[in-house]
C-alpha cells in the first residue's frame, strides 16, 4: 500500500516517522531482561534486507535463528516493527506468540497465517489486520526504514486471546520478559543503497 505513495509525497514526509522510542522492546514495564542473540543468515544486523523479503520481491519472511534463551522461559514472542513508518506508531509486520522456549530458528517463509503450515505458535495480526508476514513496502523517496525484529523470552503468565494484536501482546508481556533480542534490517525505495553484508551461519 505505501509503495503507491508518489515519490514527491514520500520525500515530503521524510521527517515524519514513528520513532525507535515507540518500539515494543523499549517500552516501560516489560521487566529487567538479559540479551538473546538474534540473527539471520540472510542479512547482517543493520544491513539492507534482500528484496525477496519485501513487497518488491517474493514477499516471504526472512530466516531467523537465536541462542541464549534462559532455561526458565516458558514461551517466546516475535514482534517485527517498522520504526520509520510515516505513522503515529511503528507499523507491525509480524507477530508470533508462543514460540517454543529455547534456542531455535524460523525458516524462510515460515511467518504465514495459522493453519498454513508455517511457524509454531499463534501468528497474530499485522498492521493490515491480517495474519502472517507483511512485506516491507516503504514509500518511494522516504529514505531508509529500519525493521526491528524483536524476540522476547517470557516467564509464565496470562495468555492473550487467539490471533493477538501488537497491543495485546505488549500488555501480556508486562513484567514477564526474562530476555530479549533485537535484529535490525533496513530497506528503502528511490534512494541509492548497498546490498551487503549477508548474515550469519545458523548453528548446527
- CATH number for the domain harbouring residue 107: 3.90.280.10
6-20, 95-109, 110-124, 164-178: which has the minimum mean pLDDT? Answer: 6-20
The predicted structure's pLDDT at residue 8: 37
The predicted structure's pLDDT at residue 204: 64
Q: What is the pLDDT of residues 1-52, one digit of tens each?
A: 555 544 534 444 445 587 899 999 999 999 889 999 999 999 999 999 999 9
Q: What is the pLDDT of residues 142-164, one digit of tens each?
A: 889 999 999 999 999 989 988 89
* 200 occurs within a structural domain: no
The predicted structure's pLDDT at residue 9: 42
Chain position carrying cell 516489560: 30
* 198 occurs within a structural domain: no
Residue 122: all three cell numbers together? 499463534
Counting the structural domains of the chain, the total is: 1
Give the span between the Cα atoms of 63 and 150, in whole angstroms.
Answer: 14
* 202 occurs within a structural domain: no
Instruction: Give, for 94, the enclosing helix (H) or strand (E).
Output: strand 91-99
* 43 occurs within a structural domain: yes
Which structural domain range is residue 27 located in?
2-187
The predicted structure's pLDDT at residue 196: 61
Q: Which long-range contacts (CB under 8 A, 24 or more apart) does 107-115 make?
A: 107/63, 108/42, 108/60, 108/61, 108/62, 108/63, 109/60, 109/61, 110/61, 110/63, 111/61, 111/78, 112/61, 114/163
Whole-model pTM? 0.88
* 194 occurs within a structural domain: no
Give the span between the Cα atoms of 153 and 65, in whole angstroms.
Answer: 14
* 196 occurs within a structural domain: no
For 10, other C-beta atoms within 10 Å of its C-beta total 22
The predicted structure's pLDDT at residue 99: 96
The mean per-residue pLDDT over the stretch 108-127 comes to: 86
Amino acid at each position: 500500500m505505501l509503495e503507491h505513495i508518489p515519490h514527491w509525497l514520500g520525500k515530503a514526509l521524510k521527517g515524519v516517522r514513528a520513532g525507535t522510542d515507540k518500539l515494543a522492546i523499549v517500552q516501560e514495564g516489560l521487566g529487567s531482561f538479559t540479551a538473546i542473540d538474534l540473527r539471520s543468515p540472510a542479512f547482517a544486523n543493520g544491513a539492507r534486507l534482500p528484496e525477496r523479503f519485501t513487497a518488491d520481491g517474493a514477499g516471504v519472511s526472512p530466516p531467523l535463528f537465536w541462542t541464549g534463551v534462559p532455561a526458565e522461559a516458558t514461551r517466546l514472542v516475535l514482534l517485527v516493527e517498522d520504526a520509520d513508518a510515516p505513522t503515529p506508531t511503528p507499523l507491525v509486520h509480524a507477530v508470533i506468540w508462543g514460540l517454543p522456549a529455547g534456542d531455535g530458528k524460523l525458516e524462510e517463509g515460515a511467518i504465514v497465517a495459522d493453519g498454513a503450515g508455517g511457524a509454531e505458535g499463534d501468528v497474530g495480526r499485522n498492521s493490515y489486520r491480517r495474519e502472517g508476514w507483511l512485506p516491507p513496502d516503504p514509500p518511494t523517496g522516504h529514505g531508509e526504514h529500519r525493521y526491528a525484529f524483536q524476540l522476547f523470552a517470557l516467564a509464565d503468565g496470562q495468555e492473550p486471546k487467539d490471533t493477538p494484536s501488537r497491543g495485546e501482546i505488549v500488555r501480556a508481556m508486562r513484567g514477564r520478559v526474562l530476555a530479549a533480542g533485537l535484529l535490525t534490517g533496513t530497506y528503502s525505495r528511490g534512494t541509492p543503497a548497498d546490498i551487503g553484508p549477508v548474515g550469519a551461519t545458523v548453528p548446527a
